[in-house]
Amino acid sequence: MTSSDAEEFRAKHLSEAEGAVLRADGLIAGYLPGVNILNDTDLYCQPGELVGIIGPNGAGKSTLLKALFGLVKIHEGTVQLNGEDITGKRADELVTRGIGFVPQTNNVFPSLTIEENLEMGCYQAPKKFSERFDFVTGIFPALGERRKQRAGGLSGGERQMVAMGRALMMEPSVLLLDEPSAGLSPVMQDEVFVQTRKINKAGVSVVMVEQNARRCLQICDRGYVLDQGRNAYTGPGRALADDPKVIELYLGTLGAKGD
């Protein structure tokens, strides 16, 4: 990416990010001092939007979600939730303020039942439980039917539902999903994309990272291609999926997965 591309990207971001439910501006972040994984990353999600992030392994996709959720130290730049600066706030505070996060791995408590996992999702506001349980089981009826079953005994697809359900218990205004379809059978992968769309249609803004790049671009309103901690491309999902440069650089191999 040339510096004029970067300037153009930033200008577009600044003109479009106004009013976003979640936005990140110029994030520089990493795990170790002096080693930056995010190198000036911008991102926004407008209310009701389903935003997808794709990119090669090690591009910094998980790091970006973790930075938005207060799990990675931000060296420079800002994160705003509904116009309020939340840069550097702790994850538990961000949950209270309205961010739901489903990590890439270890995202359920295996020894707890489905119902107990969902209770954990709103331990900060137990009074919400019954209303939110109804909302979550409306989206995932199987979770209601099997509420007494331990999460450890569930299939990968079912565990993913529990993890998404748990993150929805605090009524988040934006839900961050890290590779929800990873490791699932093709049928279950499709199911996860349908469920994500359903959650979004129910009014929850969603930012999803996906290894199944082509499928992600098909369902998202807008996508970002992240490469080496920088946004390489952005645009409507379908436009990115049809962009020859994106196909050549990122969909040639990534896109073949799951097709």
Ligand X SMILES: Nc1ncnc2c1ncn2[C@@H]1O[C@H](COP(=O)(O)OP(=O)(O)OP(=O)(O)O)[C@@H](O)[C@H]1O
Binding site for Mg ion (CB under 5 A): 61-62
Taking the least distance from each CB to ligand X, the nearer of 118 and 207 is: 207
Instruction: Report which DSSP code applies to 72.
Output: S
For residues 59 and 62, give the distance between their C-alpha atoms in angstroms, rounded to a whole number.
8
Quote the least distance from Cβ 18 to Mg ion, whole Å: 29
Q: Which does 58 bind (CB under 5 to 8 A by kind): Mg ion, ligand X, none?
A: ligand X
Q: Which is nearer to ligand X, 31 or 123 (CB)?
A: 31
Q: 96, 170 in Cβ contact below 8 A?
A: yes
The minimum distance between CB 218 and ligand X, in angstroms, equals 19
d(CA 176, CA 166) in angstroms, rounded, equals: 12
Q: Which of 17, 37, 168, 241 binds ligand X (CB under 6 A)?
A: 37
From CA 77, how far away is CA 11, in angstroms rounded? 16
Q: How far is the CB of 37 from Mg ion (least distance, A)?
A: 11
Q: Binding marks (x or -) toward ligand X, 192..231, rule CB under 6 A? A: -------------------x--------------------
CA-based nearest residue to 228, from 118, 22, 64: 64
In the bound complex, what is the minimum distance in angstroms from residue 229's beta carbon to ligand X? 7
57 binds, options ligand X, Mg ion, none, Cβ within 5 to 8 A by partner type:
ligand X
- Is residue 134 within 8 A of residue 171, CB to CB? The reply is no
For residue 58, state whether it binds ligand X (rule: CB under 6 A). Answer: yes
**Contacting range for ligand X; rule: CB under 6 A; set: 11-19, 54-62, 80-88, 167-175:** 54-62
* Max CA pair span of the chain: 56
Does 61 contact ligand X by CB under 6 A?
yes
Number of residues that bind ligand X (CB under 6 A): 11
Tokens of 12: 């577009």
The mark string for 126-155 relative to ligand X (x by CB under 6 A, - otherwise) is ------------------------------
Q: Render the burial of 178-201: b for 16+ CB within 10 Å, e for the rest.
A: bbbbbebeeebbebbbebbeebbe
Q: Residue 24 belongs to what H/E stretch? A: strand 22-29
Please identify which residue in 29, 45, 51, 59 interacts with ligand X, judged by CB under 6 A.
59
Torsion of CA 165, 100, 135, 113, to 10 degrees: 30
Which parts of this chain interact with ligand X (CB under 6 A)? 31, 37, 55, 57-63, 211
